[in-house]
A = this chain, B = another copy of it.
Amino acid sequence: MEIYFAGSIRGAEADKPLFKRFIEHLSSHGKVLTEHSFDFDHSQEIRLDDHGIYELDTGWLKDADALVAEVSSPSLGVGYEIGYVEALGKPILCLYKRQQGRKLSAMIGGNRKLKIVEYDEEEEAMNAMDDFIDAIKKP
């Protein structure tokens, strides 16, 4: 099982410590292809230009069995990755932390091909990942 974890990287509100805990949790189910994408000091991506990052990440999207996307912050990259993986027909889980005065994009929240889970507590997100991966594993 290869899992692509997506989250806002360049957005102002990117929550890298949380993303790392999500990746660690997902690692119990399989290989997380983007496990080092949220390390600022990771040498591989830093050596790459934008086209190199694009080629690396879309290669992983093609390899992945499933996409888990954290969609609490607006992000062109995460939105693009969801559209890309949906076109490949692979299962997608979107995790959205409820925030006062904000609303998830209708292009994500209104898309019935996506599994959308809204959470308040981190544990709810962890449980949603377990349920999502278990459902894929069972034929």
Q: Which residues of A are interface residues toward B (Cβ below 8 A)?
A: 8-11, 49-55, 57, 71, 73-84, 86-87, 102-112
Contact = CB atoms under 8 A, between A and B. Distances in A.
A24 to B, nearest CB: 24
A33 to B, nearest CB: 15
Given A53-B110, A83-B84, A111-B54, A10 B105 contact: yes
Output the residue of A78, A84, A102, A106 with the most chain B CB within 10 A.
A106
A88 to B, nearest CB: 8
A58 B57 CA distance: 25
Given A74-B74, A77-B79, A80-B107, 9 more contacts: A54-B112, A55-B110, A74-B76, A75-B76, A76-B76, A76-B107, A77-B105, A79-B83, A83-B83
A83 B87 contact: yes
A82 B9 CA distance: 18
Given A75-B79, A77-B79, A78-B79, A54 B107 contact: yes
A52 B87 contact: no
25 contacts: A9-B105, A49-B110, A50-B104, A50-B110, A51-B112, A53-B106, A54-B107, A54-B111, A55-B110, A57-B107, A71-B76, A75-B76, A76-B82, A76-B104, A76-B108, A77-B79, A77-B105, A79-B80, A79-B83, A81-B107, A82-B83, A83-B83, A83-B86, A83-B87, A84-B86
